[in-house]
Structures are given as C-alpha cells and as structure tokens.
Amino acid sequence: MNLAWKEMKKNKLKFFILGSIVFLVSLLTFVISGLANGLSEDNASLIRNMPEGQFLMSSDAEETYSMSVIDPGLRDQVISEHGGYAMSLQMGFLTDDEDRQTGVTFVHSGDHQVSNGRIILDESLQKDYQTGDHLTHEQSGTTFTVAGFVPQAKFSHAPSAFLSADDAEQITRTKASQLIFVPGSDELSVSGLTAFSKSEFLNTIPSYNAEQLSLNMIVWFLIAISGMLFGIFFYMMNVQKIGLYGILKGLGVKTRDLFRMMWTQLIIITLIALTASLSIGFSLNAVSPGDLPYLLAPATAFQLSAVFTLVGFFGATLSGVQIKRIEPLQAIRQGEV
C-alpha cells in the first residue's frame, strides 16, 4: 500500500494547487531562461556559433573590441605562427534603391571569403532582400551586390554583412584589424595583445553582459523562490499532519517511512509539473514569433529541472524535521481534553 499516493488521491485539490505552483514557477523559469538564451543568440550568434578559441585584441583597447587596433605586420605574424584569422566588426547602415536604411554589423572575417564589391548577409535579412540586390554604404559611397545569406550571424543585435578585406578597409578606413581569432583552447600569450576565451569575449560586449546578468539573476531568484515554496508548502502540510505522524509513530510506523511518503509525493508532483512546463517551454521554441528572441536550450532546461528537484527535495526535507521531532505521546494527548 502506498500511503503517499493514497493521500494525494484523497486530497486532490491540495496537491493540485502545489503542483500548479511548481508548474507555473518552473514554466516562468524556463521561459526566462529561453529568453535569456534567445536574446544572447540574437545579440551575438555570430560569436556564439564560432568554435572554442582565443580572441586576441590589443592590450591598450581596455577590453573593448572596437578600440582594438592590431597592425597588419603583427597580425600576419601571429596568424602565420598560431593559425586562425583576423576579424573586424563595425556598426553601420546599408541603403537600398528605395532609400530604406538597414542597420548592420559590417564584418570582415577570415573564414567568410567574399569577393570585392559583394556582401553576404545574415539570413534574417532574407525577408527584405534577395541575392543580386544592390545596397550602398553611404559614408564611403561603396555599393555592394548581395551574394548570399548565412544563418546565425548576428552581432550586437544587428545582422552581419560580411565583406572582403579590401572593402572592409574602405569602410573602417584602416588596414589594421580589431581581432585575431585562433581556434583551440590553448591560452595564447602574445606581447601587446590580450587573449580572451569565447565566453570572456562575449562578456566584453557591453549589452550582452547586461542582458545576461539581469535575466540570469531572475532565473536564480525563481529557483530560490521555488525552493522556498516547496519548503513552505510541505512545512504547512506537515504541520497539519504532525498529530497524525505522532500517532503513526506511536503505532510503530518507522520515521523513515514517513519521510519516504513525503519524498514520494514531492517526486510525483515535481515530475508531473516539470513534464508539463518543459513541454510547454520547448513548444514555445516552435511558435515564438521571429522578432521575439526565444530559444530554450535542452541542456539548460534539464539542468534547471535537476536544480528544481534538488531544491524542492531540500526544502521539503528541511521542513520534515518536525516529523523526526514529534513524540507519539504528545500527539496522542492532543486528542484528549
């Protein structure tokens, strides 16, 4: 006979409410986490989808890629020594025939070969332009022909526009590069240059850091709140049942079995609630509108689920010390007048 299950069956409403709260809090956590991930993908998918590696920028740039200047001589020397390629990024605008302006990040990157006079755009611009369209950079007066599209290439919330080295020189007005990317996890040390890992480099992008920090804080708050909710809810249920626990202990039921009953209920509720919130969280991936960046990553979602379960377990167990403490006699006497 399963005491845990029997109680849940008899008190459906009580457990349904607890389950709903866990469901709502975990769903909220998954949605926020999906937004955090979606936003960071929208902000910097160009970088996030590069392989692990080292980003080098000049040491006097104070961790700001746009201030970094790596002279061609040093650049070519580092690349011939360590491999990798140069990258430069610059915000700007492209204007089409009808005078419409689109904000883009001009990117020259060694792993995107483009011929002079052509650009390759992030696929998010596919809705506005097509291959063969002409777009102009007005400051330099250069006109480009769209040569194609690539997926997941956004930087600083703007779609990337990949250029040839010569065109990049036109737009940035310098032969120097901002960054050198060297694949691999080995820490590089080149005098005059500072090396950043991928995640370190992402965090030097000011908006990226700010967005992630606040959203992640919300996620952790929600997890802490859910732990407290579990704790408080089981505490209240245990307080209601404390007399019963005392009686059962008096009859000879093991304290361990009473804890097991509580844990079983916790696991059943958590499993059902998380299954529901995970399936909704993942299905939002498919239905979220294009301009709302939402992308719930399975690995993150399952990690969060594990944290939820653990936090719930600790909350409930902590409140379960009453079960251990209650003396049978105390409970028996409470029934008397």
Residues near another protein, by CB under 8 A: 1, 3, 6-7, 9-11, 243-244, 247-254, 328-329, 331-333, 335-336
The residue among 1 and 299 lying less far from another protein, judged by its C-beta, is: 1
Minimum separation from the CB atom of position 266 to another protein (A):
17
Which residues on neighbouring strands pair with residue 103, listed in sequence order?
Answer: 93
State the CB neighbour count (10 A cutoff) for residue 75.
Answer: 19
Residue appearing with tokens 């755009």: 121
Minimum separation from the CB atom of position 336 to another protein (A):
5
Among candidates 162, 203, 191, 189, which has minimal Cα distance to 64?
A: 203
Which residues on neighbouring strands pair with residue 142, listed in sequence order?
Answer: 137
In contact, 111 and 141? CB cutoff 8 Å? no
The residue among 291 and 336 lying less far from another protein, judged by its C-beta, is: 336
Minimum separation from the CB atom of position 242 to another protein (A):
13
Minimum separation from the CB atom of position 13 to another protein (A):
13
Residue appearing with tokens 């709903």: 20
184-203: buried (b, 16+ CB within 10 Å) or exposed (e) per residue? Answer: eeeebebeebbbbebeebbe
The residue among 251 and 287 lying less far from another protein, judged by its C-beta, is: 251
Question: What distances in angstroms separate CA 248 from CA 51, 240, 326, one per listed residue?
Answer: 60, 14, 11
Residue appearing with tokens 């792993």: 111
Minimum separation from the CB atom of position 324 to another protein (A):
11
The residue among 232 and 329 lying less far from another protein, judged by its C-beta, is: 329
The residue among 111 and 257 lying less far from another protein, judged by its C-beta, is: 257
In contact, 43 and 290? CB cutoff 8 Å? no
The residue among 4 and 150 lying less far from another protein, judged by its C-beta, is: 4
Which residues on neighbouring strands pair with residue 136, listed in sequence order?
Answer: 95, 143
Minimum separation from the CB atom of position 322 to another protein (A):
17
